[in-house]
Structure 1
Amino acid sequence: GVVRFRGMGLARLDDAGRRAFRSAVQMVLQDPLSAVNPRHTVGRTIAEPLRHLTGLSATERRARVHALLSLVGLDRSVIGRLPSQLSGGQVQRVGLARALATRPALVVLDEAVSNLDAPLQIEILDRLAVLRHEQGTAFLLVTHDIRLARRFADRVVVLDDGRVVDSSPCRPRLELEHPAARELVDAVLPAFPAGAS
C-alpha cells in the first residue's frame, strides 16, 4: 500500500515535505525508556524537535518546554533530570510532551498510556481531549483497552490480522458486532462483579 500525507505518498516527499511531515505528525511509543536518549536531560529531550523543526529562539524554546511540562502534569524541577532518575510514567509523559512540542496536526499514541496507572491514564487523556478541542490536534489512539478508547475517541476502529473488521462512533453508544471486537468489549471487567458484596 501507500501511506499518504496531505495527498502525497511519503516515499515521494522531498526534503521540505519530509520536514513538514515530521513537524505535523508525531508519535508516542508504548515503551518510554526506549524512546528517549538516556544521556539527555528532560529539557533537552522535549526541546529536541523544537530545535530541529521550528525557528524558535532559545528563550522561546525554554518557555515552550515549561508549558509542555505543565500540560502533561510534570513539575519544572524534572527539567535537568535524566530518564533514569524518573519513574516510567514520568518518562512516558516526557515523551508525550516531546510529541506535542511542534503543535502537530496528528499524534499517534501507540499504547502510550498503557504503562500509567488508571487515574493518570484518565488525567492524561482528559488533558489531550482539551488540546484536541482547543487546538484541533488529531489523535490516533492504538490500544487494546476499549474503556480508554470509548472515553477518549470519537470513533473506534477494530483491526484483526491487520484488517479493519468493525468500526463504530463512540457516542451515543458504541456498537461493535464482529467477534474480534466483541472480545475486546467482553474483556472489560465489570466495576462490581456479580456476587461481590
Structure 2
Amino acid sequence: MLISNMNPEKLMKEQITKLVFGDASEMDNGTLHGDCIFVFGGMNVDRVLKAVELYKNGRAPLILFTGGDRFGQRTLHESIFMRDEAIKLGVPAESILIEQVSNHTKENILASLMVLDRAVGLEKINRLLLVSAPGHMRRCLLMLKTFMPPWYEYVWCPDDRKLGQANSWWTDTTEEKRVRDELYKVIYGVKGKYFEDAEVDI
C-alpha cells in the first residue's frame, strides 16, 4: 500500500511496526559494505556505539556524524558530542566527518551533502550505512531518497537501544507515544509532499 493512502487511525499494532520500523528484509544483514556510515543527529550514545561497531567491523571507511545545536537548545553540537564519544572508543579522528549546522532530520541530510561532496565527492558514493533510532529509520530513508542522489543505496543499521525496539515499543508509554508520533510524521510527511511516497507491504 502507498503510504499516502494510509490512515494512521486505522492501522493495527503490527502494521504500525512494519511501517515505522521496517521488517527483517529491510534490515542490515551484516554483509554489505558502504562508502560512509551516516549517523543522524542526536545525543544518544547508542547511535555512536552502532556506528563504531560498523566501522571496526570494516563495513565503511568513514563515519559522518550529523547535528547542530537544535535551534540553540544545546550547548554542545550533537555531531561534536558523537564524534568525541567515537574517538574515545578508538575511531581515528581522520576517519570521522562532522556536519554541525542542522537542526532536524531533513537538515541532517541537506547539510551533509556539501560535507560528503567535499570529503568524498557525491559522484563517488554508491552506498550509505544508516544509523539512527530503530523507530526513525523509515522517515530517514524516505528523506534520503528524496534529497540524495537517486543512485545511492542504503542499508538500515538501527542502534541497539533497550527501549523503543520493534518487538516492544508498545510496552512503554513514552516509547509508544514516540512511535505513534513518528507514524504521523511518516504518513503526513508524504501527504504534505515533505518527502517522497513509497509502497510498503503492511
TM norm structure 2: 0.27
Using CA pairs below 8 Å that are at least 6 residues apart, which structure has the higher relative contact order? 2
Task: Select the structure of larger CA radius of gyration.
Answer: 1
TM norm structure 1: 0.27
- Which structure shows the bigger proportion of residues in strand conformation? 1
